[in-house]
């Protein structure tokens, strides 16, 4: 065991002076260029005050709803925990409450006005004849 200790410590003692030496270029060669200095770090991004950021407007009765294109598509007529009733130029439609989210101008949906109008027309066509008001039999 002592032999291994002395052998290890002897090897370290001999290697230490060699590790501390610097090399000189061989005669007739040019020394390598020194490394370029490190570039300064980019300036930090300005901090954003969360209180100054615009607050999204959540869905509420009477609020104007905006479509995927950013244009108004209707007004919220009623809300319950599961559905939002939206009044449009073409009629009323019940949408899942999860499909109406907060937006910077007002509540938003993922449909354009044309897509919503098509959904309203489809919903009206699917109603039974007895449920449609002002129709004669």
Written as one string, the DSSP assignment of 1-54 is -HHHHHHHHHHHHHHHHHHHPPP-PPTTSPPPPPPPPPPPPPPPPPP--TTTSP
Residue, of 93 and 18, whose pLDDT is higher: 93
Q: How many CB atoms lie within 10 A of CB 33?
A: 6
Q: What is the pLDDT of residues 9-44, one digit of tens each?
A: 444 455 555 555 566 666 666 666 666 666 666 666
Q: What is the pLDDT of residues 45-55, one digit of tens each?
A: 666 666 677 89
Which band of pLDDT confidence, cut at 50, 70 and 90, is reported for residue 71? very high
Q: What does the domain layout of the chain look like in residue ranges?
A: 64-127
CATH level 2 (architecture), domain 64-127 = Roll (2.30)
How far apart, in whole angstroms, are the C-alpha atoms of residue 27 and residue 9?
A: 35
């Amino acid at each position: 065991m002592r032999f291994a200790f002395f052998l290890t410590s002897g090897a370290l003692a001999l290697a230490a002076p060699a590790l501390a030496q610097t090399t000189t270029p061989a005669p007739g060669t040019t020394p390598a260029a020194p490394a370029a200095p490190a570039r300064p770090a980019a300036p930090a991004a300005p901090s954003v005050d969360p209180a100054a950021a615009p607050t999204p407007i959540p869905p509420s009765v009477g609020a104007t709803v905006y479509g995927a294109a950013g244009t108004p598509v209707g007004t919220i007529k009623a809300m319950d925990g599961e559905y939002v009733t939206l009044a449009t130029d073409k009629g009323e439609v019940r949408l899942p409450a999860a499909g109406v989210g907060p937006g910077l101008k007002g509540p938003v949906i993922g449909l354009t006005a044309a897509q919503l109008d098509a959904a309203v027309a489809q919903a009206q066509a699917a109603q039974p004849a007895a449920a449609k008001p002002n129709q004669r039999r």
